[in-house]
Structure 1
């Protein structure tokens, strides 16, 4: 199968041709870059795959970012958050594009952030973490990135502790940009159940090996995994989302099928197997019902 996830080691290997000696001593393997430097170096757009690291980007210019099955145009100053659960890429960078980005693994924050990064709305698989900024917001975030760059090049013994505080500021400012109802979670039992179900569903992906197989094919299986009655699960999800449990499972399964069809070299029979279908015919019928296209037609569009 074609590479489905890029590791942070591969990211540095592709950028520098080697990994620095202190890479493994830097908890979370943090680094920060100017986008202008990437353009001058002739760096191309990243491959559409998942990464095993987080990225925060302050982007200044016009472009189209592709998150999973979504394409989001941006213009002006934009703050973006990328997580290991969702594949992404963007259109080629053009002259005049500017900005910054930093990369790190979740270890960078494990003992210092009050919440696990994966629990933050900004880094959830279903989030759309793209925020248009006004001039004042853009200036504030640019100042933070400049402080990170300056500190990163020092020999200060506690520089990573200080940088961690700056990155935390980026994260919390990003959370502040969201509507209140996107930040408040678990206000009742139904929302808690829906959140736990969503987390369980997302943990099934990405599928990167033939030894993996998606088995969360029905609300009953999901309910059993959560140790609750299937009717309770269905009512909770319907109440909080207005949709059925089956709808959510099928939607996520279809999204993964699209990624595997378009960005892997597995044949359709192999894809149907790892996605939990009895045979290719069942997968063909499912995919066509969800997208109005056959898997083979979608693969070559």
Structure 2
């Protein structure tokens, strides 16, 4: 039993590109040369995967997606995914960029993390491109691919601009222009809550801690979570703990007891019960099933 590999941007490309903060590849070239990892793995970088033509499956953090082009996938660092494309004539584009790619370009250093495309519990992990929008998105990706091939000293900045154009074009397509101010404020509060969860889930398992940090009551936090996401605050916290538990379970270097301790459970049996209640499978069965 071996743990899932963790890839940095240079692991997926040729050595001469290892110092670059962004790499862009034609999907069919990666398939032909078998550069794509053949098993589940993690990234230390962001990834945008555009599939214009092709068939297969894409499992992201243990959720399986049937590939139905044209589609764009957005992957954040740390996510576990497994891409299986069965059509060698697939067309598309794979873009990897480092976590600091935008930090020297934008005043808001966490701008990308805060996008619903990449933030935890994000509303978008993929975008199914409507037929009447295909040309618009194809043009953006063509600009990205063309500037990447040019020997231009401004290429990286132009790539940043085109990626931002892509991100905000998607967000514009999925945004609700009729949304009232109250809903917008609630969404902003949910984002702050989710950011706190991301920072504290391993030690703080209950809504009251987060409500106190947000200077609201636990009942109100629960209300807005349910109103915006359809999940209670407790469910959001538990889902994040379970996701990390699953990620750790795929790494054979950690025992279930060690994982339990890392996630703030003093009692190993309670962690096992918690995991089984929220996953309908025991930690050991999940690990064995994953590696089967």
Q: Which residue of the other structure, out of 13, 34, 43, is the alignment partner of 1:15?
A: 13
Q: Which residue of the other structure, out of 35, 50, 54, is the alignment partner of 1:43?
A: 35
Q: Evaluate the alpha carbon distance shift between residue 186 and residue 117 of structure 1 in structure 2; reply closer, same or farther with a 3 A threshold.
A: farther
Name the residue aligned to 2:240.
252
Name the residue aligned to 1:278.
266
Q: Are the aligned partners of 2:186 and 2:224 in contact in 1 as well (CA < 8 Å)?
A: yes
Name the residue aligned to 1:6.
7
> TM-score under structure 1 normalisation?
0.81
Greater mean deviation of Cα atoms: 195-204 or 221-230? 221-230
Q: Which residue of the other structure, out of 115, 124, 136, is the alignment partner of 2:119?
A: 124
Structure 1 residue 118, shift from structure 2 partner: 1.0
* Count of aligned pairs: 284
1:102 aligns with 2:95: yes
Structure 1 residue 188, shift from structure 2 partner: 5.6
**CA–CA distance in structure 2, aligned partners of residues 227 and 238 of structure 1:** 18
Per-residue deviation, residues 262-286 of structure 1 (Å, max 9, x unmatched):
3443111111111111121111111
Per-residue deviation, residues 134-182 of structure 1 (Å, max 9, x unmatched):
4553333333323323322323232222222222222122223324279
Q: Which residue of the other structure, out of 157, 161, 180, is the alignment partner of 2:157?
A: 161
**CA–CA distance in structure 2, aligned partners of residues 124 and 139 of structure 1:** 27
**CA–CA distance in structure 2, aligned partners of residues 62 and 282 of structure 1:** 42
Per-residue deviation, residues 50-90 of structure 1 (Å, max 9, x unmatched):
32211222112112111113111122321222212532221
| SS of residue in 1 equivalent to 2:250 | helix
Name the residue aligned to 1:211.
none
User: Which 5+ residue runs of structure 1 have no aligned equivalent?
Assistant: 206-213
> TM-score under structure 2 normalisation?
0.83
Per-residue deviation, residues 105-155 of structure 1 (Å, max 9, x unmatched):
243323545760111111122233322224553333333323323322323
Greater mean deviation of Cα atoms: 113-122 or 274-283? 113-122
Name the residue aligned to 1:175.
171
1:151 aligns with 2:147: yes
| SS of residue in 2 equivalent to 1:300 | helix
Greater mean deviation of Cα atoms: 273-282 or 143-152? 143-152
Greater mean deviation of Cα atoms: 49-58 or 131-140? 131-140
| SS of residue in 1 equivalent to 2:117 | helix
| SS of residue in 1 equivalent to 2:71 | strand
Name the residue aligned to 1:208.
none
Greater mean deviation of Cα atoms: 268-277 or 176-185? 176-185
**CA–CA distance in structure 2, aligned partners of residues 42 and 62 of structure 1:** 16
Structure 1 residue 184, shift from structure 2 partner: 8.4
Structure 1 residue 239, shift from structure 2 partner: 4.4
| SS of residue in 2 equivalent to 1:169 | helix
